[in-house]
Structure 1
Amino acid sequence: MRPTAQFKKGVLDICVLYLLQYHDQYGYDLTQQVNKHIPITEGALYPSLRRLVKDGYCSTYLQESPSGPSRKYYHITNTGRIYLKEMLAEWDHFVTSFQQLREEADRDE
């Protein structure tokens, strides 16, 4: 079963920030990494990246590429690290709450 578009959209920001906390990356590379686990199109990622930059959670810089034009790299900011920590806590709480709901509903059946 594949996640719906709404599920994907809801977790894409957290996926991107999670990956960026380890090292700067460019858009195509981020798409490939996310796509290993959550099927997305390359175009789906860029609105999320633009929003993260606009909101101050990421910054960008250009770096020369050995195989073509310069690439735009994304870097998580300190504000982005704080936001990621908050989002992960909210995500964990949500998942735990949903699991409890499922367990109670299954028990009641």
Structure 2
Amino acid sequence: MDSIDDLRALRIARALGDPTRFVIYRHIIDAGEMRCGDVGVDTPVQASTVSHHLRVLSEAGLIGSRREGQGVYYRVISASLGGYLRFMRNLERKGRLHASSPV
């Protein structure tokens, strides 16, 4: 993912802005890949809300899934986070340019 638009950046920001989703995202990053049933293990995440948070992260393009037998496994899509970080760095650069411009 080379670039993202404002709407995509907003989806990613909202997804990662929720403390629970951020914990889940970090947990998946640390594991490399994680079975759906294991996502809430070793985290403060309630099992009843895991599927909702996974859906939001998936809709933001931050995680992907694959089926294996009856299990669903989640992994991070690193290009999405990379695109978001580039988007934010570009905003920061624009902000510095405008801040240093004479009024």
For Structure 1 versus Structure 2, the TM-score category normalised by the shorter chain is 0.5 to 0.7
Fraction of identical pairs, as percent:
10
CA contact (8 A) 1:17 1:80 kept: no
- CA change 1:84–1:71 in 2 (3 A) is farther
Partner Cα distance (1:81, 1:26) in 2? 21
- Deviating beyond 2 angstroms after TM superposition, the runs of 4 or more aligned structure 1 residues are 79-85
Asked if the contact 1:25–1:75 (Cα under 8 Å) also holds between the matched residues in 2, the reply is: yes
Alignment pair present for 1:42 and 2:47: yes
2:35 pairs, out of 23, 26, 31, with 26
1:1-109 superposed matches below 5 A: 10-22=18-30, 23-34=32-43, 38=44, 40-64=45-69, 70-82=70-82
The TM-score, its normalising length taken from structure 2, stands at 0.55
The TM-score normalised by the length of structure 1 is 0.53
Unaligned runs of 5+ in 2: 1-16, 86-103
Q: Check whether the contact 1:17–1:84 (CA below 8 A) recurs between aligned residues.
A: no
- Partner of 1:32, secondary structure, is coil
Q: Which has the higher contact order (CA 8 A, sep 6+)?
A: 2
Question: What RMSD in Å do the two structures reach over aligned CA positions?
Answer: 2.6
Q: CA deviation at 1:84?
A: 9.4
What is the CA distance between 1:19 and its match in structure 2?
Answer: 1.2
